Amino acid sequence: MIRDPQARSEIAREWAAIRKLCTGSHRQSQLDGGLFINETPPENFYNLPFLLAYAVLDQVLAELIDQGTIHCQKRRPLLGDKMAASANALPWQNYALVDIGKTARTS
């Protein structure tokens, strides 16, 4: 668990923003006076939540390394290094699947 309350709060806000992006690709609302607004995000936003989720994962792992929960030998580790260092230190539900996603995000 992340001990720094400020870091934990920032990560929670970022994760909430990602979840909001995933609520649907098409939104409708009605304004007073019967005016409708239909909103569909651009097609190139489709993978944005996926990319942002890995950015938050990177931030979480960096925070866990900084607080000493995970030990990483590299001075400036990349996400893959952080994930490898955390593989046995954290109770991953499906490390292999997250690792496949990490690789897909860079291709």
Check whether 42 has a pLDDT greater than 80: no
How far is residue 88 CA from its own chain's centroid? 20
User: Could you give the number of structural domains in the chain?
Assistant: 1
The fraction of the chain above a pLDDT of 90, given in percent, is: 68
Tokens at 83, concatenated:
């994930």
How far apart CA 17 and CA 106 sit, in angstroms, is: 22
DSSP summary character for residue 44: G
| Residue 26 pLDDT greater than 70, yes or no | no
Per-residue confidence (pLDDT) for residue 37, from 0 to 100: 80
* Cross-strand partners of 36: 30
Residue 13: partners with Cβ closer than 8 Å, 6 or more residues away = none
The pTM is what?
0.81
- Structural domain span for residue 87: 5-105
At 28 the pLDDT is 74
Taking residues 61-77, what's their average pLDDT?
95
